[in-house]
Amino acid sequence: MTEVAGEVADGLIVHPFNNPRFLRNEALPAVQRGLALADRQREDFTLQINAIVITGEDDKQFTAARNAVRGLLGFYASTPAYLPPMAAMGFEELQPELNRLSKAGDWEAMGERIDDEFIAAFTTSGHPGDIAAALLARYGDCADRLAIYAPYAAPDGMWRDIIADLKRLQEVLEQEAERDTDDVDRHRKVIQYMAQAIAKMRQNETALHDELQSLRKGLEHVNVIVSTQQEHSRSRGLVHVVDLQEVMSQTLSLTETSLSRTDIDVQVNLNDLPNITVDQYKLVQILTNLISNAADAIVQTRATRGRIRIEGETSSNHVKIHIHDTGEGIKPEALSRLFEHGFTTKKSGNGFGLHISALAARELGGSLAAESHGTGHGATFSLTLPRSGRSVTPQHVPRR
């Protein structure tokens, strides 16, 4: 059916019960096959991804949202038709059990079978100020449009931080469109979609809250664009010469909400770094995630002030960007697992951001590393990139 959509439809609306591995390894290739049969181009097709979001302004709200989504995932996972995305993540053996429980009407037991690893695989979760960046890291290279699905009650102003980050993302897109003249039409189309979505969200904040109060009625899908171009799909990137100081400025603008949650002094010294050839979109993805994580680590210390220091290093063939933070640090036993899928040290983390950032760094021909002297000593993340960009085809990464 997905292949047929690629052949004859204007686009595809992806069900909320999805995960990036299933999208990249199965759904998107099927769309590409359909497009090829009809001799159509990827820009002729709009992919809207519905994303389940778990967020809250405090622990109580976050826990309530997580519990509501846990029950929803149990229901979705009990449906035989939804087995493929489960199999993509290694959860296929759970489906028959959940199906049996659904026939017995044991809804509570179904929710209990959904563990944290399953939730991380099928949702985007975090502080409201981090959701836009998390969505960017999760779906940024494959979505044209995104619909946020949040089947739980939420306070009136909770979505405002997310809206602010999405507006900053729009600014990044506008700057990129001005620079990439060969793709101006495509950028304009995306920016237009985003502007319309943001305007609609601002006009309907009150109505949105009313909808959230009724779980039975469900939540109206709010369309927000978090991805830019189809050229940034898994098989093709927009590679060009970039100014790393300018890229960092864009990234800091996008993460401003995360950085404003406490008094964080951000020091940037990339003056000596040369321009490099790279897929700028993936680079922003990685840096956004690293800076958001650094801000999270500082907030967790409950200190009144914190510092993030961003420094550059260069050699004949590579450049390095080091991001140091004064956050809570990383325990030695966690350091070796940081980039595993599903592993997280944060209460509201999903274990996906660092994993996908490491994969993106590898696709850029580079690497991502972490260093910490333990709890209370902060951490340093180092991104290494070749000076002349090269792309590596993404590989299937088995579930651990």
- Transcribe 17-36 into DSSP letters: S--HHHIIIIIHHHHHHHHH
Both 157 and 277 in a single domain?
A: no
* 3 state SS of 309: strand
* Residues facing residue 12 across a β-bridge: 47
Which secondary structure element, helix H or strand E, spans residue 250, and what is its range?
A: helix 244-254
Please give the Cα distance from 16 to 276 (Å, whole number).
37
* Residues facing residue 318 across a β-bridge: 386
Please give the Cα distance from 215 to 68 (Å, whole number).
9
| Domain boundary residue, one of 220, 236, 252 | 236
Both 56 and 121 in a single domain?
A: yes
Q: Comparing 87-101, 129-143, 164-178, 217-231, which segment has the lowest mean pLDDT?
A: 217-231
Across the range 341-357, mean pLDDT stands at: 73
| Residue position matching structure tokens 């960017």 | 136
Both 128 and 212 in a single domain?
A: yes
In angstroms, what CA-CA distances link 356 with 103, 149, 187, 255? 37, 22, 24, 18
In angstroms, what CA-CA distances link 243 with 131, 249, 270, 305, 392? 27, 10, 10, 30, 22
Residues 144-162: tens digit of each pLDDT: 887 888 888 776 667 666 7
Both 227 and 261 in a single domain?
A: no
**What token pair was written down for 158?**
């909770």
117 contacts 52 by C-beta, under 8 angstroms: no
Across the range 15-28, mean pLDDT stands at: 93
Both 248 and 369 in a single domain?
A: yes
| Domain boundary residue, one of 207, 236, 265 | 236
pLDDT value of position 163: 66
Q: Which of 331, 263, 264, 330 shows the shortest CA–CA distance to 291?
A: 264
pLDDT value of position 208: 44
In angstroms, what CA-CA distances link 132 with 145, 209, 256, 282, 355? 13, 19, 11, 15, 17
| Domain boundary residue, one of 236, 264, 298 | 236
pLDDT value of position 219: 32
Please give the Cα distance from 352 to 123 (Å, whole number).
10
Please give the Cα distance from 163 to 130 (Å, whole number).
11
Provide the mean pLDDT of the chain: 79
pLDDT value of position 138: 83
DSSP letters for 47-85: EEEEEEEEE-SSHHHHHHHHHHHHHHHHHHHTSGGGHHH
293 contacts 353 by C-beta, under 8 angstroms: yes
Give pTM, 2 decimals.
Answer: 0.54
β 263-269/305-314 pair status: parallel
Q: Which residues contact 273 (CB under 8 A, 6 or more apart)?
A: 244, 245, 312, 314, 319, 321
C-beta atoms surrounding 238 within 10 Å: 19
Q: What angle do CA 276, 144, 224 make, to 5 degrees?
A: 105
pLDDT value of position 228: 34
Domain count, the chain: 2
DSSP letters for 310-341: EEEEE-SSEEEEEEEE-SS---HHHHTTTTST
β 276-279/239-242 pair status: antiparallel
pLDDT bracket for residue 131 (50, 70, 90): confident
Both 275 and 380 in a single domain?
A: yes
Both 43 and 116 in a single domain?
A: yes
Q: Hey, what amino acid is at 295? A: A
Q: Hey, what amino acid is at 228? A: T
Domain, as residue range, for 384: 238-400
- Within 13 Å of residue 206, how many CA atoms lie on the same side as its CB? 1
pLDDT value of position 14: 93
308 contacts 291 by C-beta, under 8 angstroms: yes
Q: Which residue has the higher pLDDT, 340 or 390?
A: 340
Domain CATH for 295: 3.30.565.10
Both 325 and 199 in a single domain?
A: no
Both 248 and 231 in a single domain?
A: no
Q: What angle do CA 69, 74, 77 make, to 5 degrees?
A: 120
Both 134 and 158 in a single domain?
A: yes
Per-residue pLDDT at 197 exceeds 80: no
Residues 26-40: tens digit of each pLDDT: 999 999 999 999 999
Per-residue pLDDT at 170 exceeds 80: no
Chain length of the chain = 400
pLDDT value of position 341: 77
Please give the Cα distance from 344 to 210 (Å, whole number).
33
Both 252 and 296 in a single domain?
A: yes
Both 125 and 250 in a single domain?
A: no
